[in-house]
A and B are shown apart, each in its own frame.
Chain A
Amino acid sequence: MKSAVIVFPGSNCDRDMAVALEKVTGVKPTMVWHQDHDFDAVDFIALPGGFSYGDYLRCGAMSARSNVMTEVVKRAAGGVPTLGICNGFQVLTETGLLPGALMRNAGLHFVCKDVKLSVENADTLFTADYMEGEEILVPVAHHDGNYFADDDTLDELEDEGRVAFRYLMDVNGSQRGIAGITNARGNILGMMPHPERMIEPALGGSHGRKLFTSIMNRLG
């Protein structure tokens, strides 16, 4: 599986994402700089966490308008599997590839801790190796993870099985406890929790691994 990790100025989980991808899939991803207009054909694109462009203006807003995102949007819309974690999720909502927005946490503080999630839909490219309803422990680390969308959009997400992960505790005030969603086609996942931080027992657990094996097993 050939993958690319997009690096924005201010990304800071790009290395973590690359390490997780290499550890799980055995293949080093290509790191793609935000100013690049084009990059090699890949099977999978990852948008990492961090504070791209310092979170200035709005989290993810400036990255969404960077050179590289024009290409990412094109490819993702064309069906290339794309994952956005934390700031990557914020970028995906800012591009419009995923609906809704991530607002300031309800508690108004940055929150970094392990949280319990349920796998709401195990029939996606990203979650196939999990069981439906499986409870997993994955950390969050964000200031703006409070998922918001209007009721119609939320209903649509629920009806179409596009809520991939849901918090089992109140973390940030997200509507309906939404932690991660996919697009209608199912090739794009955005989530606030960090599965790439839970890939070995030394880091506190391995519950994040299956997300990467799911993608790998589907894409080969």
Chain B
Amino acid sequence: MQKIDDTEITPEIVKEHGLTPEEYERIVGAMGRAPNYTELGIYSVMWSEHCSYKSSRFHLKKLPTEAPWVICGPGENAGVIDIGDDQAVIFKMESHNHPSYIEPYQGAATGVGGILRDVFTMGARPVANLNALRFGEPNHPKTKHLLAGVVEGVGGYGNCVGVPTVGGETNFDPSYNGNILVNAMTVGIADKDKIFYCAAAGVGNPVVYVGSKTGRDGIHGATMASAEFTEDSEEKRPTVQVGDPFTEKLLIEACLELMDTDAIIAIQDMGAAGLTSSSVEMASKGGVGFELNLDKVPQREENMTPYEMCLSESQERMLMVLKPGREAMAQAIFEKWELDFAVIGEITDTGKLTLTFGGEIVGDMPINSLVDDAPEYERPYVATPKREVADVPAANDLNKAVIDLIGGPHLCSRRWIWEQYDHMVMGDTIQRPGGDAAVVRVHGTDKALAICTDVTPRYCFADPVEGGRQAVAETWRNITAVGGTPLAITNCLNFGNPERTDIMGQFVGCLEGMAEACRALDYPIVSGNVSLYNETNGSGILPTPAIGGVGVMADSSKMATIDFKRAGDVVLLLGETKNELGSSLYQRELFADDEQNPSAPPHVDLALERRTGDFVRTFIESGQVDTCHDLSDGGLIAALADMAIAGGMGVNVTVENDLPLHATLFSETQARYLIAASAEVAGAIRKKANEAGIPAAVLGATGGKRLRVNDGAVDITMNKLTKAHAGWMPNFMANAS
């Protein structure tokens, strides 16, 4: 029997929906009457932090989002950029943090599923997945379990859907002990003239539901994502959705098949807040109303109420507006793929979202009030205080320091993770995980995309502005290091409780730094997601604005990789090394920096960053350089070790400058690259670098079976180094539950 939930609205019910009394009054004002229970549920998700960006909108407006190659910036399902040849790249990154902590496998899996839908809903075939993961400290009792489950979930979904998972990053820090971060990114390719948007149009046109049936899973997911965690958060397990990658695969193929026709006017995936947010979004963008008959919604469970149907976050569902008369043709495509297809309503000129159920109107809300009347908070903030520059001491034993870092949780090989991901399916992954950026060929061409994700949360904590700059600059550098021209970024802004002034200060600072970097590097933000309230019992995470960068290279045969390729190549360092050990991995791991009062991180000189990167890229593009690595965590010695390990070949270098050796080796000064090339090419690069005013130093040569610095000041066999690098994670994860 159908039933309408007529629960009475009390202050407790309002509170349970994550709304303040003031916000409730605002709803009453917007509607001109008190909402019923279904309507309250709909307002609560539409006005949740997750859907409305009420704490972040004011600041997000400051981010640069335009460039001549940007086709569509933030505001749609994903960002779209022009890559020439009438093709476009569509991409976005999104968080699935809270669900992944509660239920790591399904949380991570549905995170991947959700971001895939954001991309193919715009007409792109997804060609690459990446993920930026943050876990608590390795010895925390939950870390292994969460890491194992998240990796299994990311792989379980991505492998089945058949989109290669080509890159990402994994960090550990105690601040994530009770609140891990799972940020998933998808990149797709579409024809430039076949991009689909969500703005509904045409009064009387059919509103069509396709994909999986609606169940009771995920109700209030968006609300959960907008609140702090407490000890009883694990009781929220039922709010975590369950993914079915097989259905997603069918949905991708069916949608792309229908997109090949001219039947679709508008299309939108049902993500957070499901049917509600997708219909409101489509109607709002199109300036129209929607009338939906909830009896027509395909249902997986019996006796679902309108409230449940509207708030369900069941996965693998899409909403479309079709041209009239195309329903039968569209239905045939979805039936071929064995997916549900139902006309559930039509477009109206009322400007309202009208819901009927069992012949009665069960909800009737002005669309603009659900979107435009959502509160916007300019929350008070206190800027993070400036930090002192640190004087970080020398390690007693440099060899041990190198092994501890390379063979430790932060710099060790992530092979254990990415071998569980199919990173080759689709046959265009030409640079696999483990390098600076993944490179995926544009199918059937010589062109390729370079893609990566980066952020250094410890820098963001110490100095949000520098950290924001650095996160953007590092993706730019990583794309450059493989030979790509960086074009645009997406972001996933993970922060603690914005109602705390210090957290809000971190948010504002990071955005300021990001905006500066985007402008300086001509590298706009085209899509993104904000995840606030990443706290457990009042303890916030490190500010983590994860950046996903996308670049393009015209001739992928000229791509560079990090591995040393020939013995006798000259190793050249581009960029100046300063004594910048503050908030470095070296300091943090070996000298336990004061966690609450960290030292100043490296400064990012954006003009220098751009000049150095543009310089390096020309030599890769011209085919003169095929071996390049940027310097980041762990500094020069970590980059040398990476290149040697990847190439299975030693290296012998001598560094000469005014710094103490430990600073030269571990300083994390930005805007630096290592190149290995023939003596002739290296000589030519050095000459041009001098002309261009870019510091360039010949460090030594590749070859042998040892990593050697300054006649043995560091001297480690490749065997030992490689074992340390390869061993940490498999050893750590052995016997994980």
* CB <8 Å contact, B246 and A10: yes
For residues 135 through 164 of chain A, which have their beta carbon under 8 Å from a beta carbon of chain B? Answer: 139, 141, 143
Rounded to whole angstroms, the CA-CA distance of A194 and B422 in the bound complex is 12
* CB <8 Å contact, B420 and A9: no
* CB <8 Å contact, B159 and A141: yes
* CB <8 Å contact, A51 and B425: no
* CB <8 Å contact, A51 and B246: yes
Asked whether any CB of chain A lies closer than 8 Å to the CB of B429, the reply is: yes
Rounded to whole angstroms, the CA-CA distance of A110 and B164 in the bound complex is 13
Asked whether any CB of chain A lies closer than 8 Å to the CB of B368, the reply is: no
Chain B residues near A210 (CB-CB < 8 A):
none
* CB <8 Å contact, A12 and B249: yes
* CB <8 Å contact, A110 and B420: yes
* CB <8 Å contact, A203 and B430: yes
Asked whether any CB of chain B lies closer than 8 Å to the CB of A112, the reply is: yes
CB distance from A204 to the nearest CB of B (A): 8
Q: Find the A residue at minimum CB distance from B246.
A: A54
Chain A residues near B247 (CB-CB < 8 A):
54
Rounded to whole angstroms, the CA-CA distance of A70 and B422 in the bound complex is 30
Asked whether any CB of chain A lies closer than 8 Å to the CB of B337, the reply is: yes
Interface string of A94-114 (1 = CB under 8 A from B): 000000000000000111110
Count of interface residues, chain A, beta-carbon cutoff 8 Å: 29
Chain A residues near B429 (CB-CB < 8 A):
203
Chain A residues near B425 (CB-CB < 8 A):
12-13, 16, 49, 141
Interface string of B243-264 (1 = CB under 8 A from A): 0111101100000000000000
CB distance from A31 to the nearest CB of B (A): 12
* CB <8 Å contact, A113 and B161: no
CB distance from A2 to the nearest CB of B (A): 22
Q: Find the A residue at minimum CB distance from B733.
A: A109
Chain A residues near B155 (CB-CB < 8 A):
110
Q: Find the B residue at minimum CB distance from A56.
A: B246
Rounded to whole angstroms, the CA-CA distance of A37 and B51 in the bound complex is 48
Say which residue of A16, A55, A111 sits within 8 Å of B427 (CB atoms): A16
Rounded to whole angstroms, the CA-CA distance of A16 and B556 in the bound complex is 19
* CB <8 Å contact, A139 and B160: no
Chain A residues near B421 (CB-CB < 8 A):
110, 112
* Given contact pairs A10-B246, A51-B249, A202-B556, A16 touches B160 in the complex (Cβ within 8 A): no
Asked whether any CB of chain B lies closer than 8 Å to the CB of A1, the reply is: no
CB distance from B22 to the nearest CB of A (A): 47
Asked whether any CB of chain B lies closer than 8 Å to the CB of A116, the reply is: no
Asked whether any CB of chain B lies closer than 8 Å to the CB of A50, the reply is: yes
- Chain A interface main SS type: mixed
Say which residue of B152, B161, B337, B557 sits within 8 Å of A202 (CB atoms): B557
Asked whether any CB of chain A lies closer than 8 Å to the CB of B16, the reply is: no
Chain A residues near B430 (CB-CB < 8 A):
202-203
Asked whether any CB of chain B lies closer than 8 Å to the CB of A65, the reply is: no
* CB <8 Å contact, B245 and A54: yes
* CB <8 Å contact, A16 and B557: no
For residues 42 through 59 of chain A, which have their beta carbon under 8 Å from a beta carbon of chain B? Answer: 49-51, 53-56
Q: Find the B residue at minimum CB distance from A18.
A: B427
Chain A residues near B317 (CB-CB < 8 A):
none
Asked whether any CB of chain B lies closer than 8 Å to the CB of A15, the reply is: yes
Say which residue of B152, B249, B419 sits within 8 Å of A10 (CB atoms): B249
Asked whether any CB of chain A lies closer than 8 Å to the CB of B686, the reply is: no
* Given contact pairs A9-B337, A13-B425, A197-B427, A53 touches B420 in the complex (Cβ within 8 A): no
Residue from A109, A110, A111 with most neighbouring chain B CB atoms (10 Å): A110
Asked whether any CB of chain B lies closer than 8 Å to the CB of A196, the reply is: yes
For residues 7 through 54 of chain A, which have their beta carbon under 8 Å from a beta carbon of chain B? Answer: 9-10, 12-13, 15-16, 19-20, 49-51, 53-54
* CB <8 Å contact, A51 and B245: yes
Chain A residues near B420 (CB-CB < 8 A):
109-112
CB distance from A46 to the nearest CB of B (A): 14
* CB <8 Å contact, B422 and A9: no
* CB <8 Å contact, A13 and B419: no
* CB <8 Å contact, B246 and A110: no
Chain A residues near B427 (CB-CB < 8 A):
15-16, 19-20, 196-197, 203
Chain A residues near B419 (CB-CB < 8 A):
109, 111-113
Residue from B422, B425, B557 with most neighbouring chain A CB atoms (10 Å): B422
Chain B residues near A194 (CB-CB < 8 A):
424
Rounded to whole angstroms, the CA-CA distance of A203 and B425 in the bound complex is 11
Chain A residues near B250 (CB-CB < 8 A):
9-10
Rounded to whole angstroms, the CA-CA distance of A56 and B425 in the bound complex is 20
Rounded to whole angstroms, the CA-CA distance of A14 and B422 in the bound complex is 15
* CB <8 Å contact, B338 and A9: yes
Asked whether any CB of chain A lies closer than 8 Å to the CB of B469, the reply is: no
Rounded to whole angstroms, the CA-CA distance of A16 and B430 in the bound complex is 14
Rounded to whole angstroms, the CA-CA distance of A109 and B420 in the bound complex is 7
Say which residue of A20, A50, A109 sits within 8 Å of B162 (CB atoms): A50
For residues 411 through 436 of chain B, which have their beta carbon under 8 Å from a beta carbon of chain A? Answer: 418-427, 429-430, 432
* CB <8 Å contact, A13 and B557: no
Asked whether any CB of chain A lies closer than 8 Å to the CB of B441, the reply is: yes
Rounded to whole angstroms, the CA-CA distance of A139 and B426 in the bound complex is 13
Chain B residues near A9 (CB-CB < 8 A):
246, 249-250, 337-338
Rounded to whole angstroms, the CA-CA distance of A132 and B153 in the bound complex is 40
Chain B residues near A54 (CB-CB < 8 A):
160, 244-247
For residues 597 through 644 of chain B, which have their beta carbon under 8 Å from a beta carbon of chain A? Answer: none
Rounded to whole angstroms, the CA-CA distance of A16 and B426 in the bound complex is 6
Rounded to whole angstroms, the CA-CA distance of A12 and B556 in the bound complex is 24
18 other A-B residue contacts (CB within 8 Å) besides A16-B425, A113-B419: A9-B246, A9-B337, A10-B160, A10-B249, A12-B160, A13-B425, A50-B162, A54-B246, A55-B246, A109-B152, A110-B156, A110-B159, A112-B420, A112-B423, A112-B424, A143-B159, A202-B441, A203-B427
**CB-defined A-B contacts under 8 Å, sample of 28:** A10-B160, A10-B246, A10-B250, A12-B161, A12-B425, A16-B425, A16-B427, A49-B425, A50-B162, A54-B246, A54-B247, A55-B246, A109-B419, A110-B156, A110-B421, A111-B419, A112-B159, A112-B420, A112-B421, A112-B424, A141-B422, A141-B424, A194-B424, A197-B427, A202-B556, A202-B557, A203-B430, A204-B432
Q: Which 9 A-B pairs have the closest CB atoms?
A: A12-B162, A54-B246, A51-B160, A16-B427, A141-B422, A202-B430, A112-B422, A110-B420, A110-B155
